Amino acid sequence: MTNDTTATTMRARITQRIRNISIRRLMLYVVLAGISIVFLLPLEVAFVTSLKSGVAVGRTLPFLPPGLEGLTFQNWTRAFELLKQGLVNSLILVVPVTIISAGMGSLAAYGLTRTDWRGQVPILLLIVAGVFLPTQAAIVPLSRFWSIYVPLEQILAPVWQLPLLHEYHSDLLALMITDIAFGLPICTVLFRSYYKGLSDEMVEAAMVDGASLFSIYRRIIFPLSGPMFAVTLIYQFTQVWNSFLFPLIIMVSSNNPAAPVTLSLAGIGASLEGTNYGLRMAGALLTALPTLIVFLLFGERFAEGVVGRT
């Protein structure tokens, strides 16, 4: 009797909830489901294709999984073998670039926000203009700058004789400097907008106590900058990791030993026999994996920085 009463009560609750769902809410769920499918379908197609053999790619629809005869994991192992040097190069590139860009952007924003000095406005306008500078406009200047005016391979020739260093690392160093230069303006603007929203009470109290500008930054501003550091680190990491134009300008070809993974990915799976789509999809997913890991690790701090919460 008790079981029947419980079942009846549950059915009544479910029926009541179904009745409470309005047509408007139902349409909202349908639209959200459709948007989710639009965003997730390309990822599903890429993953499924990466598990298909060359024959299975031609015989099955892109979004359908292969049968047991067409299932293979060789695309992933082969993609890792082809891209492992590019992954290492990208890691060597992106870590210092991301940290230096965020650190310098924070210091520059602090100087533009918490201090008053002559020429501050023109410098700020120049930095803001740098945010809107199209990267395509730098193709010829960058190529001539690093190849003719500042050939690091020749200037730092003794350095490349040190253990673990090679001449092709000069291209990696040039790419680091370029990425820092182009990433610094946006990092500075983001930090400045964040620092504008911080309370002045603690800073004023520290100034009354005789703290220097650097002490104020180190003891007050820097500890409060965690959310915005997460924003700039994720943004800059993603931008540098996914960058293709700058590596192409500086390194020219994917055959360069210092080529990052995005440049190495451009030539993967192409041959005279045709395109190996399974290999390309596996390489693309493998290349995108680090950025996904970064978002999963720092996503909450990223959201805090975006909404400006400390």
Could you report the per-residue pLDDT of 6-25, keeping only the tens digit for each?
666 777 676 666 666 667 77
The DSSP annotation for 50-93 comes to HTB-HHHHHHS-TTSPP-TTTB-SHHHHHHHHHHHHHHHHHHHH
Report the distance separating Cα 128 and Cα 236, nearest Å. Answer: 17
Indicate whether 66 belongs to any domain. Answer: no
pTM greater than 0.85 (yes/no) = no
The DSSP annotation for 231-253 comes to HHHHHHHHHHHH--HHHHHHH-S
Per residue in 28-45, pLDDT (tens digit) is 888 999 999 888 888 888
- Both 54 and 96 in one domain: the answer is no
Q: Is residue 270 classed as helix, strand or coil in its secondary structure?
A: strand
In the structure, what pLDDT confidence band is assigned to residue 272 with cuts at 50, 70 and 90? Answer: low
pLDDT for the residue numbered 236: 92
Name the one residue in this structure whose structure tokens are 């104020």.
216
Q: Is residue 226 classed as helix, strand or coil in its secondary structure?
A: helix
pLDDT for the residue numbered 23: 72
- Both 54 and 112 in one domain: the answer is no
pLDDT for the residue numbered 3: 54
* Highest averaged pLDDT of the listed ranges 62-71, 94-103, 192-201: 94-103
- Both 54 and 93 in one domain: the answer is no
Report the distance separating Cα 20 and Cα 38, nearest Å. Answer: 28
- Both 117 and 152 in one domain: the answer is yes
Cα dihedral sign, 129-134-137-141: positive
Cα 154 to Cα 75, 150, 160, 161, 245: the distances in Å are 40, 9, 10, 12, 24
- Both 54 and 83 in one domain: the answer is no
- Both 111 and 43 in one domain: the answer is no
pLDDT for the residue numbered 179: 93
Report the distance separating Cα 256 and Cα 268, nearest Å. Answer: 14
Indicate whether 69 belongs to any domain. Answer: no
For residue 8, give its domain range. 2-59
Per residue in 127-155, pLDDT (tens digit) is 888 888 888 888 889 989 998 899 888 88
- Both 231 and 287 in one domain: the answer is yes
For residue 62, pLDDT over 90 is answered with: no
Report the distance separating Cα 146 and Cα 156, nearest Å. Answer: 13
pLDDT for the residue numbered 310: 44
